[in-house]
Amino acid sequence: MDLNQLFQNIDIEMLLPELNPTKRSTYYHLICPFCQKKEAYIPNKEKLKPVIICNRKNKCGQIIPIWTYLKEFRGLSNKEIFKLLTGYEDNYKIPSNNKSTKIKIKIIRKPLKIPKAPKTISLTENIKNFKYLDIESKFQTIITYIYAFSLKTNQTPKINYYASRKIYYTKNIGFLSREDMFELTDKLANLFDYKSLTQFGIFLKGKMKFNFSSFAIVPSFDIYTNLITALRFRNIYPSKFKELEMSSQRLLNPLPYPLTLNKLKKFDTFYFTEGHIDALSLKKINVVGVEGIGSFNPINFQFFKDKTIIIAFDKDKAGFEGSLNLAKKAKEYGVRVKFLNWDPKYGKDINELLINNNLHKTYISDNLDFISSKNE
């Protein structure tokens, strides 16, 4: 099957309405499914390359084939995508006179369930058999290796960074200085093939991509295996690149730190904070640090069905709107929603409440009560 040819007959504006595509002379301009900014494009010159490319090079810059997008974000199977694109049921056989294609948009979500126990995978074995692994396992193996390495470096700068925010429990967060990253570059180049390292966006021009600063390494834990599904690089020095993600086109639909399978099984209530700093500041175990509403794939609310979430976003305009948005999406999945309220004079976010010794001034209710007037 020639994918390029198949996509040439497709009206992208009809195929991907949720990304709001606009047709231009040589490309489609559309919303990036990863960062939610309307700064992505699909090339459309001569032959349409079936791939969505985010133009925000240093901030997002994700690239995803449309087929993969339909699979991962719409939850469609290969068969369903084939039918969506061609209108034909038959396995990968397109009639030669297939010119105009009717597209029916059907958003099917693959049901997600909390697994009973994670599959134990040996990192050493995976490294040994690397070339035989599937693409998801390859990516998980590399980032789990990076994560394990980042836990064994000199952790002092990380410890100081969090301590200045009154956070002292950071043992499952790693650290990589620039020097660590040069050492890690050599190790990765020895263990894994260059093609995979580049393809997954871990290497850029033969070196680890984010080697311009020192980073705290925040993992997303896999609930199906003992490996890692994504890494966030938190720049510990002031910079416009505050946080970068290694998530390989969100292949694995990562869950936010510090959520784990055990916690999902154990707790019926979860606090949702803006980011991992607030998650750690809350001093609770049942907490989920959502890095902005756009980064939390709502299909993951299926894991929280019949549970209660307590949204504890910032008390500013963005936090207020984000709270209501997240609440709306959660309710669609049968999740009960409450809010953590406090007067913003005690601190605009959870970390400020902690620093000001005001965490006890918060209370839970069914409504969102406060919005800071000075931030409007």
List interacting residues with Zn ion (CB under 5 A). Answer: 32, 34-35, 54, 56, 60
* Closer of 29 and 307 to Zn ion (Cβ): 29
Distance of CA 272 to the CA centre of its chain: 15
CB-count exposure of residue 347 (10 Å: 0-12, 13-18, 19+): buried
- Closest separation in Å from C-beta 242 to Zn ion: 16
Distance CA 347, CA 340 (A): 13
Q: How does strand 269-274 pair with strand 308-312?
A: parallel
* Closer of 38 and 263 to Zn ion (Cβ): 38
* Closer of 32 and 280 to Zn ion (Cβ): 32
- Closest separation in Å from C-beta 19 to Zn ion: 11
- Closest separation in Å from C-beta 41 to Zn ion: 11
* Closer of 58 and 356 to Zn ion (Cβ): 58
- Closest separation in Å from C-beta 37 to Zn ion: 6
Strand order in the sheet with 243-246: 174-176, 215-221, 228-235, 243-246
* Closer of 34 and 257 to Zn ion (Cβ): 34
Is 42 in contact with 51 (CB distance < 8 Å)?
yes
- Closest separation in Å from C-beta 252 to Zn ion: 18
* Closer of 60 and 327 to Zn ion (Cβ): 60
Which residues, in sequence order, are bridge partners of residue 245? 232
Mutual angle of helices 135-150 and 178-191, in 10-degree steps: 140
- Closest separation in Å from C-beta 39 to Zn ion: 6
* Closer of 54 and 311 to Zn ion (Cβ): 54
Question: In degrees, to the nearest 5, what angle opens at C-alpha 187 toward C-alphas 184 and 192?
Answer: 115
Reduced to 3 states (helix: H, G, I; strand: E, B; else coil), residue 351 is helix
Which element (helix H / strand E) includes 226? none
- Closest separation in Å from C-beta 299 to Zn ion: 19
Distance CA 227, CA 225 (A): 5
* Closer of 63 and 127 to Zn ion (Cβ): 63
- Print burial letters for 257-276: b (CB count within 10 Å at least 16), e (below 16): bbbbbebbeebeebbbbbbb
Q: To the nearest 10°, report the CA torsion of 320, 323, 324, 330.
A: 180
- Closest separation in Å from C-beta 136 to Zn ion: 21
- Cβ neighbours for 158, distance < 8 A, ≥ 6 positions apart: 170, 173, 174, 175, 216, 236
